[in-house]
Amino acid sequence: MDMGEYVKVAVDAMGGDNAPVEIVKGAVEAIKESDKVKVYLTGREDVLKKELAQYTYNQEQMEIVPASEVIETAEPPVMAIRKKKDSSLVKALNLVKDGTCDAYVSAGSTGATLVGGQVIVGRIKGVERPPLAPLIPTATGCSLLIDCGANVDARPSHLVQFAKMGSVYMENIVGVKNPRVGIVNIGAEEEKGNALVKETFPLLKNCPDINFIGSVEARDIPAGAADVIVCEAFVGNVVLKTYEGVGLTLMKKMKEGLMSSFRSKIGALLVKPALKETLKAFDLEQYGGAPLLGLKGLVVKTHGSSKANEIKNSILQCIAFSEQKINEKIKEKIMTDEVVSGQEN
């Protein structure tokens, strides 16, 4: 295969709780699973060479890009991006900026990825604010929760762009035809909501190129009430984190319950395989990382606790993103818009 045909993914090999071991392992698994992808691992050369030495894989699909520094999770993002030019995270972002790579994957600092994505990779022309948009599991499949990023207090025009970018993603990556777009609200009626929602609602309603279905109550999100769940980042973060927290606590409680008597322990052995299968379908980590949409390349943030499997999925997800030309489609949708509003004015 000609190298030019690879989807090239820069992977921050030093970012995350389980770096570099699980990151390198995930990268190797990704190139073993697909011959369409090439991984550029950024990080300390000696460390990464040693890790890679454990595996056999197609050498042509893997490259190390040396980086001597590491950005820690607790560091103030803006400062970290500015000072640590030779960090694995900044190096990986620069590979996308200079066109060497199509995409970026990191389990490192969320803040640094969000800031660096905007500052180094840069926004697509017309995009006002790039949203972080994880897929979350629902009773019927999955939904895109957009925005869960760090830029809170959004304006209505941002939310409209989120709805459009989210629709492109769900239609082309997840394969949902004419995805239903809902806005997170505290009631189903149009007159309900806070100032932001009330102002955004009519804009979404009058948006011709999305399938807006109105308000979605948080209670109905897990049931799969909409495919694209639009909200301001603070609210999105609260939904996502409550999702995770309730799931974790319920699982813990259930395990305690199952271990509470001899009778239930026997039963637990019998139900375990079936339960495991069901609960896997409700695992937030199954979908790989969350894309930061609207940037000139693909920037993917995975959980800080990512293991090899999530890293692999995140890398493989970049192939579909590239093949489906998501960014070209987002650009088109945002541009059309500008032309339309230009004519209106």
DSSP conformation class of 151: -
Asked whether 145 and 236 are in contact (CB, 8 A), the reply is yes
Q: For the chain, percent helix, then strand, then coil, each to nearest 5?
A: 50, 15, 30
Rg of the chain's alpha carbons, rounded to an integer? 21
Nearer to a second copy, 115 or 235 (CB): 235
Q: How far apart are CA 303 and CA 191, in angstroms?
A: 37
In sign, the C-alpha dihedral spanning 71, 76, 79, 82 is positive
Nearer to a second copy, 43 or 182 (CB): 182
Nearer to a second copy, 138 or 167 (CB): 138
Q: Which residue has the tokens 């000072």?
A: 83
Taking the complex as a whole, how short is the minimal distance between the CB of residue 76 and a second copy, in angstroms? 8
Taking the complex as a whole, how short is the minimal distance between the CB of residue 142 and a second copy, in angstroms? 12
Alpha helix positions (H), 146-232: 156-169, 195-205
CA distances from 196 to 153, 161, 167 (A): 9, 14, 20
One-letter amino acid identity for 266? I
| Residues of the shown chain interacting with a second copy in the complex, contacts defined by CB under 8 A | 138-139, 150, 152-153, 184, 186, 193-195, 197, 217-223, 233-235, 237-250, 252-254, 256-258, 260-261, 263-264, 266-275, 277-279, 281-282
Nearer to a second copy, 175 or 257 (CB): 257
Phi and psi, residue 142, nearest 5°? -150, 160
Nearer to a second copy, 2 or 256 (CB): 256
Nearer to a second copy, 128 or 244 (CB): 244
Nearer to a second copy, 57 or 282 (CB): 282
Nearer to a second copy, 129 or 331 (CB): 129
Taking the complex as a whole, how short is the minimal distance between the CB of residue 68 and a second copy, in angstroms? 27
Taking the complex as a whole, how short is the minimal distance between the CB of residue 14 and a second copy, in angstroms? 22
Asked whether 191 and 203 are in contact (CB, 8 A), the reply is no
Q: How far apart are CA 205 and CA 214, in angstroms?
A: 8
Q: How far apart are CA 153 and CA 194, in angstroms?
A: 12
Taking the complex as a whole, how short is the minimal distance between the CB of residue 218 and a second copy, in angstroms? 4
Asked whether 66 and 13 are in contact (CB, 8 A), the reply is no
Nearer to a second copy, 20 or 108 (CB): 108
Taking the complex as a whole, how short is the minimal distance between the CB of residue 110 and a second copy, in angstroms? 9
Taking the complex as a whole, how short is the minimal distance between the CB of residue 133 and a second copy, in angstroms? 16
DSSP line for 225-289: --SEEE--HHHHHHHHHHHHHHHHHHHHHHHHHHTSSHHHHHHHHHHHHHHHHHHHTT-GGGG--
Taking the complex as a whole, how short is the minimal distance between the CB of residue 232 and a second copy, in angstroms? 8
Among 337, 340, 343, 342, CA closest to 127: 337
Taking the complex as a whole, how short is the minimal distance between the CB of residue 109 and a second copy, in angstroms? 12
